[in-house]
Amino acid sequence: MKYFLTGGAVILVDQAVKYAVRQNFQPGDSVQVLGDFFRLTYIQNEGAAWGMMAGKQTFLILLTMVVIIGAIWYMHHEPNMSWLGKLPITMIAAGGIGNLIDRVILRYVTDMFDFSIFPPVFNVADISVTCGCALLIFYVIWGENLEKRGRTN
């Protein structure tokens, strides 16, 4: 249940931030938050990361749905998996759902976080997917050892 709450929180925050940006900015508008280092810049991304595959909405929607369904199926069929394994999968699925909502309703993804040291503009869902992937890699490499250590303490 806590994974549904975590995923729901990610989706809610993602959609709330995107809604606020769409209500207060016009596409292309940018506001400095920390000088030129960090800006809020409203981008309507019709593709995937860095705008790749722009115009391929149907493919991106189907791919996202497959990943989300696969993540939920895997978590359901691995009931003994610890929170170390389920949390990153939840984050990936929730981020995917956040961007899927945009793709289906708007036909683009709302992006807004713009750092001068990192070229693409991104959103909360992207952060969730990226952090989830990093945590999943960590879990695959070291998770079993961490779980064994936790059981022996």
Which of 14, 102, 111, 114 is catalytic? The answer is 111
126 is known as an active-site residue: yes
Contact residues for 152 (Cβ-Cβ < 8 A; gap 6+): none
Q: Do 21 and 30 form a contact (C-beta atoms < 8 A)?
A: no
Catalytic residue among 14, 102, 114, 126: 126
CB 82 within 8 A of CB 140: no
Residue 111 known to be catalytic: yes
Active site residues: 111, 126
